[in-house]
């Protein structure tokens, strides 16, 4: 290990960020303790800008701090690709296009240019075409996506409990690069984005207002509370996270066991061989992965910016104008580009750590000041309903409601699977397959479930008892889920502090997904075996931010969202290919391992013998 020598630019940036953070932080904290005094001296819009500067400067400073990393000469394979190469600006410019995969680069840039060109010149026709294709995918192929997701859950369950779970990725002597808490934190924060923040309080409310047809209950009734929570858990729980694992685990196995490159196309190794991954089929899969990642993340950044400022406008009446979301995107882009360019071991890991800390602090505060007894009662009933109805819910194709909610959710999760799955694979060297599945499905879904039970349960309690008319507020604001949290938190003790932490979570959550996606896109867009440079990461980060700003300017958020979902369709099918390929390989080559049940049973005699010995000693 060696101390990472920061560049002069990073050292200078750190010196500038410290006083900015301290000054802006003093102002923000003063505004909480002395709101009347600060409010008389500073307009709401200025206070908002200062708050954003406070978040950004703090995260930026954390990212550029020096840290310990492995020497470059010691890194190989996937470890090397996760390293950010540090070249001079001149060397980077001269070698930029040489180090890019020409085919991937040209297609990705060309497709996005064409899309926004159509949005500008023939917006109505473009929207009609995209909407038609989306309707076909969600309505006509909905049952296919439901079946693939359920198959993925069954496959992940077998890997968790079956004999293949004992396989250590990279061989028996391989050791994990990260502690388990860091491993969980990196994956969870990268794979969930800020959607969990907005939809945590909002989704259950929507299902409470318009109950899912699977449950025959009256709207806004006591019974509707349980059905609303059940469907929230279903959409954000085990099934959703499985979409990442069934892509990521095959990549990890073939990378660490067969020497395949760290690319999404590696799932085709059983069919093409390692040498065949440079074929047109491998290129196609990688390009689709880049497109899905940029489309999904850029759209999320744009939507989060709009939603963040919508919530701010509702809460404090601060109008940011048309430039507000664009400036916000620019600030977010600066944060995640800086984080990504410092690498996994510095910015990405540290900001993910801050993210998970804020996540649990906020959840703990909500448990303390919220209606915890009601949440536990309703949550227990919802968990039981989720467990009992899991298979029927997974197969329920029903009316259009299922297409608009469940199928759309599944396809969207599959569209994020290439980026999240590849990142999971990159982190998993030295881990047992069972550990990867447990972390990627069980631990992550458990954290998401707790969040939705706490926040969704609190929202339903406040709405049902009439402590706040959250649904009325959402209706007044055009059905935007962005405003849902503010009337909820305003009805609780410590409301201002909780709103501040809530806003911080929005910024940090989207940053942790965007910085990871930027690094992954830079890896996929580079020639195989070539680690990305800081400037290449900067280019793709700026490109993602540019796409997000284009969404805001052109007004094509719904269309780009649809296009990102379109990539989820092919990747849903590719998950079947990945599962078949991995299963065939494991069946042929991996034997002699024990299932989880056998491992536990083998320990029973040892445990029993120990207890018997203790009993004899006590009798003597």
Average pLDDT over residues 450-465: 95
Helix H segments across 237-348? Answer: 238-258, 269-272, 280-316, 323-341
Per the CB < 8 A criterion, the answer to whether 212 and 231 are in contact is yes
Which residues, in sequence order, are CB contacts of 353 under 8 Å at separation 6+?
182, 185
Phi, psi of 526 (to 5 degrees): -85, 160
Average pLDDT over residues 349-367: 94
Which residues, in sequence order, are CB contacts of 428 under 8 Å at separation 6+?
169, 183, 248, 249, 252, 256, 436
Three-state DSSP class for residue 66: coil
Per the CB < 8 A criterion, the answer to whether 459 and 205 are in contact is yes
The residue ranking higher by pLDDT, 132 or 381, is 381
What is the fold of 70-612?
A: Amino acid/polyamine transporter I (1.20.1740)
The confidence band for 6, taking pLDDT boundaries of 50, 70 and 90, is low
The confidence band for 1, taking pLDDT boundaries of 50, 70 and 90, is very low
Residue 239 reports pLDDT greater than 90: yes
| DSSP symbol at 526 | B
- Distance from chain centroid for Cα 61: 23
Average pLDDT, the chain: 85
Find where tokens 């029903």 sit: 398
Instruction: Check residue 205 and give its pLDDT.
Output: 96
The residue ranking higher by pLDDT, 177 or 529, is 177
* 404 vs 263: CA distance, rounded Å: 32
pLDDT tens digits along 128-163: 887 788 888 888 888 999 999 999 999 999 999 999
Three-state DSSP class for residue 222: helix
Instruction: Check residue 570 and give its pLDDT.
Output: 87
pLDDT tens digits along 424-453: 999 999 999 999 999 999 999 999 999 999
Instruction: Check residue 606 and give its pLDDT.
Output: 57
* 119 vs 88: CA distance, rounded Å: 38
Residue 226 reports pLDDT greater than 50: yes
Per the CB < 8 A criterion, the answer to whether 1 and 69 are in contact is yes
Per the CB < 8 A criterion, the answer to whether 123 and 551 are in contact is no
Residue ranges of domains in the chain: 1-69, 70-612
CA dist list (Å): 266 to 148, 372, 581:
20, 46, 11
* Cβ atoms < 10 Å from Cβ of 283: 17
CA dist list (Å): 239 to 157, 230, 231, 406:
11, 13, 12, 11
| DSSP symbol at 479 | T
Q: Max alpha carbon distance in the chain (Å)?
A: 91
Find where tokens 């996606």 sit: 517
Task: Provide the Cα torsion 584, 586, 592, 595; round to 10°.
Answer: -100
* 118 vs 114: CA distance, rounded Å: 6
The confidence band for 244, taking pLDDT boundaries of 50, 70 and 90, is very high
Residue 359 reports pLDDT greater than 70: yes
Instruction: Check residue 33 and give its pLDDT.
Output: 65
Which residues, in sequence order, are CB contacts of 504 under 8 Å at separation 6+?
55, 358
Q: Worst-scoring range by mean pLDDT, 199-208, 241-250, 302-311?
A: 302-311
pLDDT tens digits along 538-575: 899 999 988 888 877 776 556 666 766 777 888 899 99
Instruction: Check residue 98 and give its pLDDT.
Output: 66
Q: The pTM is what? A: 0.90
Residue 13 reports pLDDT greater than 50: yes
E strand intervals along 22-132? 68-69
Per the CB < 8 A criterion, the answer to whether 309 and 328 are in contact is yes
Strand 68-69 vs strand 2-3: parallel, antiparallel, or unpaired? antiparallel
Instruction: Check residue 616 and give its pLDDT.
Output: 47
The confidence band for 322, taking pLDDT boundaries of 50, 70 and 90, is confident
Residue 3 reports pLDDT greater than 50: no
- Distance from chain centroid for Cα 308: 18
pLDDT tens digits along 35-79: 666 555 666 567 667 777 888 889 888 888 886 654 444 444 566
Instruction: Check residue 620 and give its pLDDT.
Output: 53
- Joined tokens for residue 317: 């009446």
Per the CB < 8 A criterion, the answer to whether 57 and 20 are in contact is yes
Task: Provide the Cα torsion 77, 83, 84, 85; round to 10°.
Answer: -60
Task: Provide the Cα torsion 418, 424, 428, 429; round to 10°.
Answer: 40
DSSP code string of 146-202: HHHHHHHHHHHHHHHHSGGGGPBTT-TT---SS-HHHHHHHHHHHHHTTHHHHHHHH
Residue 356 reports pLDDT greater than 90: yes
Residue 532 reports pLDDT greater than 90: no
Which residues, in sequence order, are CB contacts of 532 under 8 Å at separation 6+?
81, 84, 85, 99, 519, 522, 523, 525, 526
Average pLDDT over residues 501-517: 89
Instruction: Check residue 118 and give its pLDDT.
Output: 83
The confidence band for 405, taking pLDDT boundaries of 50, 70 and 90, is very high
The confidence band for 230, taking pLDDT boundaries of 50, 70 and 90, is very high
Rg over CA atoms, the chain:
25
Q: Worst-scoring range by mean pLDDT, 8-17, 404-413, 581-590?
A: 8-17
The residue ranking higher by pLDDT, 611 or 217, is 217
Per the CB < 8 A criterion, the answer to whether 356 and 189 are in contact is yes
Sort 87 into a burial class: Cβ within 10 Å, 0-12 / 13-18 / 19+: middle
The residue ranking higher by pLDDT, 309 or 21, is 21
The residue ranking higher by pLDDT, 520 or 615, is 520
Which residues, in sequence order, are CB contacts of 214 under 8 Å at separation 6+?
227, 231, 389, 392, 393, 396, 398
Instruction: Check residue 373 and give its pLDDT.
Output: 94
The confidence band for 272, taking pLDDT boundaries of 50, 70 and 90, is very high
Residue 263 reports pLDDT greater than 80: yes
- Joined tokens for residue 373: 């007894």
* Cβ atoms < 10 Å from Cβ of 9: 11
pLDDT tens digits along 571-592: 899 999 999 999 999 999 886 6
């Amino acid at each position: 290990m060696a101390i990472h020598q920061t560049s002069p630019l990073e050292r200078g940036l750190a010196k500038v960020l410290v006083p900015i953070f301290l000054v802006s932080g003093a102002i923000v904290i003063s505004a909480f303790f002395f709101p009347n005094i600060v409010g008389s001296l500073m307009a709401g819009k200025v206070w908002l800008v200062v708050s954003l500067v406070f978040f950004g400067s703090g995260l930026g400073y954390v990212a550029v701090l020096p840290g310990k990393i492995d020497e470059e000469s010691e890194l190989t394979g996937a470890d090397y690709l996760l390293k950010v190469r540090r070249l001079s600006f001149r060397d980077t410019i001269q070698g930029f296009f040489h180090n890019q995969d020409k085919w991937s680069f040209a297609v990705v840039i060309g497709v996005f240019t064409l899309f926004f060109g159509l949005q500008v010149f023939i917006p109505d026709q473009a929207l009609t075409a995209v909407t038609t294709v989306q309707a076909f995918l969600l309505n006509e192929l909905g049952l296919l996506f439901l079946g693939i997701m359920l198959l993925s859950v069954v496959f992940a369950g077998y890997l968790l409990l079956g004999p293949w779970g004992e396989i250590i990725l990279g061989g028996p002597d391989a050791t994990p690069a990260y502690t388990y808490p860091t491993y969980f934190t990196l994956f969870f924060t990268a794979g969930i984005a800020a959607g969990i923040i907005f939809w945590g309080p909002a989704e259950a409310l929507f299902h409470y207002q318009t109950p899912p047809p699977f449950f025959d209950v009256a709207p806004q009734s006591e019974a509707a509370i349980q059905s609303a929570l059940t469907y929230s858990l279903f959409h954000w729980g085990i099934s959703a996270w499985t979409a990442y694992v069934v892509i990521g685990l095959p990549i990890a196995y073939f990378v660490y066991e067969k020497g395949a490159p760290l690319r999404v196309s590696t799932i085709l190794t059983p069919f093409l061989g390692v040498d065949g991954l440079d074929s047109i089929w491998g290129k196609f899969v990688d390009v689709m992965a880049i497109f899905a990642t940029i489309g999904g993340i850029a759209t999320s950044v744009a939507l989060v910016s709009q939603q963040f400022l919508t919530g701010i406008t509702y809460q404090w009446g601060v109008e940011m104008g048309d430039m507000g979301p664009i400036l916000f995107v620019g600030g977010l882009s600066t944060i995640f580009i800086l984080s990504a360019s410092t690498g996994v071991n510095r910015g990405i890991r540290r900001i993910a750590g801050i993210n998970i800390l804020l996540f649990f602090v906020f959840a703990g505060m909500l448990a303390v000041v919220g209606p915890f007894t009601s949440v536990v009662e309703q949550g227990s009933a919802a968990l039981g309903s989720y467990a009992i109805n899991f298979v029927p819910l997974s197969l329920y194709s029903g009316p259009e409601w299922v297409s608009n909610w469940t199928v759309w959710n599944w396809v969207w999760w599959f569209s994020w699977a290439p980026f999240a799955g590849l990142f999971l694979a990159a982190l998993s060297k030295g881990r047992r397959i069972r550990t990867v599945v447990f972390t990627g499905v069980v631990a992550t879904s458990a954290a998401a479930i707790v969040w939705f039970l706490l926040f969704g349960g609190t929202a339903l309690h406040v709405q049902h008892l009439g402590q706040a008319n959250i649904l009325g507020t959402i209706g007044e604001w055009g059905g935007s889920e962005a405003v849902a949290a503010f009337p909820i938190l305003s009805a609780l003790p410590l409301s201002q502090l909780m709103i501040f932490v809530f806003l911080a979570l929005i910024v940090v959550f989207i940053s942790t997904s965007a910085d990871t996606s930027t690094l992954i896109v830079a890896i996929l867009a580079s020639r195989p075996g070539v680690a990305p440079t800081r400037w290449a990461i900067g280019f793709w980060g700026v490109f993602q931010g540019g796409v997000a700003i284009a969404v805001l300017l052109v007004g094509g958020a719904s269309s780009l969202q649809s296009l990102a979902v379109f990539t989820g369709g092919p990747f849903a099918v590719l998950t079947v290919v990945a599962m078949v390929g991995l299963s065939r390989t494991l069946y042929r080559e991996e034997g002699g391992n024990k299932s989880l049940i056998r491992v536990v049973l083998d320990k029973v005699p040892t445990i029993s013998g120990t207890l018997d010995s203790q009993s004899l000693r006590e009798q003597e």
